[in-house]
Amino acid sequence: MDGKKEAEKEERSGLPSPLDELLGYRLRRASMAMMADLLAALHPLELSAGEASFLILVGANPGCPQSDVGRTLEIKRANLTPLVARMKARGLVVDAPIDGRSRSLTLTEAGIALRDDALARIAAADRKVSQGLSIDERALLATLRSISG
Amino acid sequence: MDGKKEAEKEERSGLPSPLDELLGYRLRRASMAMMADLLAALHPLELSAGEASFLILVGANPGCPQSDVGRTLEIKRANLTPLVARMKARGLVVDAPIDGRSRSLTLTEAGIALRDDALARIAAADRKVSQGLSIDERALLATLRSISG
DNA sequence: CTGTTATGTTATGCTGCATAGCATTTGATG
DNA sequence: CATCAAATGCTATGCAGCATAACATAACAG
């Protein structure tokens, strides 16, 4: 299977490039394309991608320590602090001291509602793409998980 | 310096999360993981990811107009200008006027040599991942291409 | 010729991510 | 108990990537 004359290769100033065959490059481009859709879907909710993932994770783990959230989402402590502050300022999350240093996070009713809304939009954007996949989505997810270890 | 792999990054504190089942999220995480490896591989060459992709594309398309490079790599004109300037300053690429406004780009010998080096490192990093894939790489690439249009 | 589009450049701002340092608390060790 | 290393959260700060706006020139279509 090496039909090479694709003719559609240059849809519009698309120069031929070995980059097309590189997994890392293709992964990045696909990720950026989906991210663009995601941001558009979350914009009406005034949520960034990081904020949405935060709400989803805390919503699924009520009372979890902030440190665990940071580790799971791979958000540095220094960057998580202002994110939590914004969510608290909007009344989406409440925190309580676990011990002297750690704080537990829990979504408020408003936080849960917004999380549900965001999750629905994200899932819809996901579905829009995954429906057109040429391979099984489960297999794809498993493969991607294995890449990010 | 570092550039090491922190041994086995234990999944400690990995909170259960619906994000794990989201295609967009998994795509992003996989992309970021590969990008980290890529940057480490390119660091000895003092190349950023964008610069390496630039060298590869121009190397495969000698004499191509700068505008096409920008479109293909999805780099805005305003950001491409300083990138080209850096590559010229390092003697990796030369440009010549096509017409009064457009400029053609071509790699120098040094540029080709560095491109070859970079491409080898990138391909190696790619292979390190693709060898452990649970699904066919060709199918994966095709799927990713369909996602990014 | 005239208005519109394309290209390249400069200046500038925003966002996400990173590092460094600090204060506090916890837990392990002797 | 006394100490010290690690963990947690916070503040301040810098930077790289990406974006927009405005401009100058040149090509193109009418």
Protein CA A88 to sugar C1' C16 (Å) = 20
Question: B27-81 pLDDT, tens per residue?
Answer: 999 999 999 999 999 999 999 999 999 999 999 999 999 999 999 999 999 999 9
Residue A80, CB, less than 7 Å from strand D? yes
CB contact under 8 A, A149 and B69: no
Q: Distances in Å between the alpha carbon of B125 and those of A23, A25, A138, B6, B129?
A: 10, 11, 25, 18, 7
Sheet holding B103-107, edge to edge: B64-65, B103-107, B93-97
- Give strand letter and number of the nucleotide nearest B49 (CA to C1'): D17
**Which of A10-14, A53-57, B59-63, B119-123 bottoms out in mean pLDDT, i.e. has the lowest?**
A10-14
CB contact under 8 A, A147 and B23: no
Give the span between the Cα atoms of A102 and B33, in whole angstroms: 28
Average the pLDDT over B123-148 and give the result: 95
- Classify residue B96 by its DSSP letter: E
Handedness of CA B110, B113, B119, B125 (dihedral sign): negative
Nearest to A58 by CA among B52, B126, B18: B18
Q: Is the predicted pLDDT of residue A49 greater than 50, yes or no?
A: yes
Type of residue at A24: G
For the beta carbon of residue A41, count every other beta carbon within 10 angstroms.
21
Protein CA B79 to sugar C1' D17 (Å) = 9
Q: List own/partner pairs for B18-23 with CB under 8 A and 24 or more apart.
A: B18/A56, B18/A60, B18/A119, B19/A53, B19/A56, B19/A57, B20/A145, B21/A141, B22/A122, B22/A123, B22/A126, B23/A34, B23/A126, B23/A129, B23/A130, B23/A137, B23/A140, B23/A141, B23/A144
Nearest to A89 by CA among A108, A73, A61: A108
Q: Residue B106's beta-bridge partner residues? A: B94
Confidence of residue A61 (pLDDT cuts 50, 70, 90): very high
3-state SS, residue A106: strand
Q: Is the predicted pLDDT of residue A118 greater than 70, yes or no?
A: yes
Structure tokens, A78: 């220094």
Q: What does residue B108 show for φ and ψ, rounded to 5 degrees?
A: -85, 180
Share above pLDDT 90 across residues of chain A, in percent, rounded to a whole number: 89
Q: Is the predicted pLDDT of residue B2 greater than 50, yes or no?
A: no
CB contact under 8 A, B34 and A27: yes
3-state SS, residue B20: helix
